[in-house]
Amino acid sequence: MTQHEPPITSGLGQLSLRTQRMVGAMVDPGERVVAVIHPHWWLVLGPVSTFAAACIIAIVLTTFNLALLSLAGLVILALAAINLIFRGLQWYFEMLVVTDRRVRFSRGVLLRRTSEIPLRHVNDITTEQGIIGRILHFGRLHIDSGNALGDELVTFVPNPVRLRQLLASLGDADHPELPTSDANNTGADSLSRLERLSILRAGGFLSDLEFEQAKASLLRDLDGEQRGSK
């Protein structure tokens, strides 16, 4: 079995070991993970608010010193706790993984469902944000593949506009260029990779340090290719 290097999110911080294993099982050898995105925290705000309200109701009902009311309060509290735990697990296990080849979707707690759309099959990307979504920076992302692979609608996506820009830049880079001379092809490929890095930094998926490190590595590779062609 091929060992994968622990993938990390670009500009989004280090992943937990469990999430690294989950993501590692979803990618192929040599496939670079660009971003791993969980739903926005707004997904669990409702269950948290419900649980807080259930705690208050349970406390109020127990003050009457009636067994039936106390039992009702405990039942309400238990149901709210179960809902909160389920939503928390849903947030944890649901993820959108963007690589340099495709977009993979993983959903479900008890029954896992995964799907994917190769970048070359992404025809159109649209975003939707309501008033609250624009304030808190989350929304819906619709990816149109235009073929039998079907479409994907993802809700509670953090920074959907940034993600759309990221997918658009990766999709442009994934389409092969027309064949040219080796020197021109090398320069065009390096320029394309540099543009992708700039878009990733502008979108917040790469920190300034990560951008400079990747840029330096790209320039070293380009210099080595030019020396080898002479």
Summarize pLDDT for 168-195 with one digit per residue, the tens. Answer: 888 765 554 444 444 444 455 556 667 6
- Which of 166, 165, 164 has the alpha carbon at shortest distance from 154? 164
Count of domains in the chain? 2
pLDDT at 27: 79
In this predicted structure, what is the pLDDT of residue 226?
60
Instruction: Report if residue 11 sits inside a domain.
Output: no
- Out of 55, 90, 125, a domain closes at 90
Contact assessment for residue 153 and residue 141, using Cβ atoms and an 8 Å cutoff: yes
Which pLDDT value is given to residue 149?
59
Domain that residue 219 falls in: 176-230
The answer to the question of residue 223 being in a domain is yes
For residue 105, being part of any structural domain is answered with: no
| Domain end residue (candidates: 62, 90, 118) | 90
What is the pLDDT averaged over residues 159-175?
78
In a domain, residue 181? The reply is yes
151 is a domain residue = no
Q: What angle do CA 12, 6, 193 make, to 5 degrees?
A: 60
The two three-digit tokens of residue 192, written as one number: 């394309």
pLDDT at 180: 44
What are the tens digits of pLDDT across the range 77-122? 999 999 999 888 888 888 888 888 888 888 887 888 888 888 888 8
